[in-house]
Amino acid sequence: MSAPTVRAFVLTAPGEASVQEVPAPVAVPGEVVVDVERVGVCGTDVEFFTGEMAYLHEGHSAYPMRLGHEWAGTVSAVGDGVDPSWLGRRVMGDTMLGDRTCRACRRGSQHVCARRQEVGIRGGRPGALAEQLAVPAWSLHPLPDPVDAVLGALVEPGGNALRAAQAAGVGPGDRALVLGPGTIGLLTAMSCARPAPRCT
């Protein structure tokens, strides 16, 4: 009997990609498998497609690779040590996965961990442009019922936008210039126009 497979978008070289059958992810200890429902395409993904992404030239990433770091889906399997209550839950997850042991990670700054993986971007961690995705359970965030999968996939870029807007310190009566009309640029403009509660 052959091992189970899933379909995934695989980028094999600049400008070269196809949908391929790849080994289905397995929920190893501490991780879950998610049935992916929606995935966003980021400017970072475009830079990988064109071959311009700096990580390719710095040795942090290499072809072939599976993109997709803005995603939402439902947990379909859990590994040893993972709370079984995650099964069947609608979730999205962090992109940057620190080693959880270095000084940066212990201070809550896993995004600058020198040994971090980034889902679909860095360190060989496959992304969500696939039928299924494996990620650490600690990186998950449950989605409330009113948040559909499309909005769930926008949580990651929305978080970037919110932090950018808050860093600008825009208040009532202020004007802000947001350069770039992509998803994060538009979400940043929205966050500046309607300030949300501070990130914690």
- pLDDT, tens digit, for every residue of 56-67? 999 999 999 999
What's the confidence (pLDDT) of residue 1?
Answer: 72
Q: Is 28 exposed, middle or buried (0-12, 13-18, 19+ CB in 10 A)?
A: middle
Q: Compute the Cα dihedral for 71, 187, 161, 185 and give only its sign.
A: positive
Pairing of strands 90-93, 140-142: antiparallel
pLDDT of residue 3: 87
Instruction: For residues 20 and 122, give the distance between their C-alpha atoms in angstroms, rounded to a whole number.
Output: 20
Q: What is the DSSP letter of 137?
A: G
Residue keyed to tokens 């919110």:
162
Query: Looking at residue 200, what is its pLDDT?
Result: 43
- Of the CA atoms within 13 Å of residue 177, those in its CB half-sphere come to 1
How far is C-alpha 84 from the chain's CA centre? Answer: 22
* Residues in CB range of 59: below 8 A, 6 or more apart: none
**pLDDT value, residue 197:** 53
Interatomic CA distance for residues 95 and 111, integer angstroms: 9
Closest CA to 131 of 38, 29, 69: 38
> Is residue 129 within 8 Å of 120, Cβ to Cβ?
yes
Question: The whole model's pTM is what?
Answer: 0.89
Which residues of the chain register pLDDT less than 50? 199-200
Q: At residue 54, what are phi and psi to the nearest 5 degrees?
A: -60, -35
pLDDT at 195: 58
Residues 6+ apart with CB under 8 A from 117: 96, 97, 123, 124, 125
Q: Could you tell me the CA-to-CA distances from 24 to 6, 65, 133, 134 in Å, in that order?
A: 5, 15, 8, 9
